[in-house]
Amino acid sequence: MNASHYDAAIIGAGMSGLAAGIRLAHFGKKVCIFERHNASGGLNSFYSIAGRKFDVGLHAMTNYVPPGVKGTPLGKLLRQLRIDREEFALCPQKQSRIAFPDCSLRFTNDFAVLDAEVASKFPQQTDGWRKLVELVRTFDDVSLDAKPVSAHAIVAQYITDPLLTDMIFCPVMYYGSAQERDMEFGQFVIMFKALYLEGFARPLDGVRVIIRVLLDKYRQAGGERRMKSGVAKIIEREGKAAALILDDGSEITADHVISSAGYPETMQMCEPARNIEAESNTGMLSFVETISTFKLPPASWGWDKDTIVFFNDSDRFDYVRARKQVDTRSGVICLPNNFDYAGADLPEGLFRVTCLANYDVWSQLTEREYQADKLRWFLEIQRSARRFLPRVANEVLTENLLATDMFTPRTVKKFTGHLNGAIYGAPRKIRDGRTHLRNLYLCGTDQGFLGIVGAMLSGISMANYHILQKNPG
């Protein structure tokens, strides 16, 4: 075998690609991860501006359970990757809120809090709500061959108040739905468990802590990683991925190829390209996010309770591609200072707001228009979000403001490579990861285990299912 032949080649050094790589390398496979960027992490990467470090996608890591709770996704991934829980240094949230104009529901990492909120604010719905929770608890959401069903259709059998329905769906969709208006029920269950039955946490130093742990494990296991080395083409011969052509034109071969690039993106990489398949399953939901850095923590002006706030002001929660450049009717506020860092705190105050945005509009702007529109929308987004937080005078925020940054659908495209800046990828997920080529599999967003923990489990599952269980080395 020559130097450019691998047992497995992995496209993309995001959470799922790294996790798949760790599994394969640990069990003796010769594996290489090809990443187009110079940074690992994909959507959940990080960057620095003027000495300040920012996370790209991470508000909170979902699926948090306290030490000792077993059998949940977090525990599974720690065991599978031989990671000690302490290495992730997770700090739990304080509380989060679903905030609609006339109603709000608090939730924490203790599910009893949300259950009591629903019972007190929707007494007529409590019975149905608890039955839905029971269904979610017992549903096999990681089945690789489940048939897709509408989440709204199932939830409607238990919950009849549209306000409660919308309030439950709002966080679940914002943190993972690639589909407009509805979700596949299995995806809904994954997110319901991840957000409500489990919970939120974050390392004090952000997502880089998690990426560093993954990179160290991968390196120790003997995995190889090529940065600034994207895969341009997957050459098909006799129903197999016979070779990969890299961006620099060089060619490598592998017995197995796992792509975390996304379904339509991978189909377009294939030679011959599968453009019809790609076009029929391309996501269209993208986000903008504003980031404000303050001298003081937001608790100084009374924003001390909430970690994450999911807000909406329209009659029915409308999770669709933004018709305008940005849809400020709903969104997500993140106050990263409001995790319980056990006495420590971030060096500065942070305030982040996410809203749905239209990729086409953002992508067509000239550089000058782009900069101007970022400024304009920054103010609009913050104005909308602040309606759902305790009142504070503009001057207080202005005096404290140190820096701002904003990412747009263009940024999402840059970090994920997803067509349309589709933050959660393709609307229809490929659960078993299979493609038209028998040694090419998908992992990550478009395999469909959601969130950071889900992404890692996706890489693990696909490596186990397609390679380790079948080709035991």
Chain residues in the site for other proteins (CB under 8 A): 27-28, 67-68, 70-71, 75-76, 78-80, 82, 84-85, 464, 468-469, 472-473
Whole-number minimum distance, CB 115 to other proteins, in Å? 25
Report the run of H or E that residue 69 belongs to, with start and end.
none
Minimum gap (Å) between residue 67 Cβ and other proteins = 8
Over 430-466, what HEC string results? CCCCECCCCCEEECCCCCCCCHHHHHHHHHHHHHHHH
Using CA atoms, how far apart are residues 231 and 237, in angstroms rounded to an integer?
Answer: 17
Do residues 286 and 422 make contact, with C-beta atoms less than 8 angstroms apart?
Answer: yes
CB of 466 vs other proteins, minimal distance in Å: 14
Quick one: tokens of 325? 């450049």
Q: Among candidates 220, 406, 215, 246, which has minimal Cα distance to 326?
A: 406
User: Are 206 and 350 spatial neighbours (Cβ–Cβ below 8 Å)?
Assistant: no
Rounded to whole angstroms, the Cα distance separating 400 from 414 reads: 31
Which of 67, 343 has the CB closer to other proteins? 67
> In this structure, are residues 42 and 21 in contact, taking their beta carbons and an 8 Å threshold?
no
Q: Which is nearer to other proteins, 28 or 390 (CB)?
A: 28
Nearer to other proteins, 67 or 272 (CB): 67
Note the residue count of the chain: 473
- The residues, ordered by sequence, that sit 6+ positions from 376 with a Cβ below 8 Å of its Cβ are none
Pairing type for strands 52-55 and 240-246 reads unpaired
For residues 338 and 461, which CB has a smaller minimum distance to other proteins in the complex?
A: 461
Q: In the complex, what is the shortest distance from the CB of residue 473 to other proteins, in angstroms, rounded to a whole number? A: 7
Nearer to other proteins, 25 or 98 (CB): 25
Q: For residue 206, what are the contacts with CB-CB under 8 A and spacing of at least 6?
A: 46, 53, 55, 58, 336
Question: Residue 391: helix, strand or coil by DSSP?
Answer: coil
Alpha-carbon distance of 303 to 434, in angstroms, equals 46
Nearer to other proteins, 189 or 350 (CB): 189
Pick between residue 416 and residue 447 the one whose CB is nearest to other proteins: 447
**Residue 134 C-beta: closest distance to other proteins, Å:** 21
Residue 140 or 367 with smaller CB distance to other proteins: 140
Residue 139 tokens, joined: 């549903």
CB of 78 to other proteins, least distance (A): 8
Report in angstroms how near the CB of residue 187 gets to other proteins at its nearest: 21
Name the minimum Å distance from CB 341 to other proteins.
Answer: 23
Nearer to other proteins, 126 or 464 (CB): 464
Q: What are the residues whose beta carbons fall under 8 Å from the beta carbon of 170, sequence distance 6 or more?
A: 98, 100, 310, 312, 317, 319, 330
CB 71, min distance to other proteins, A = 6
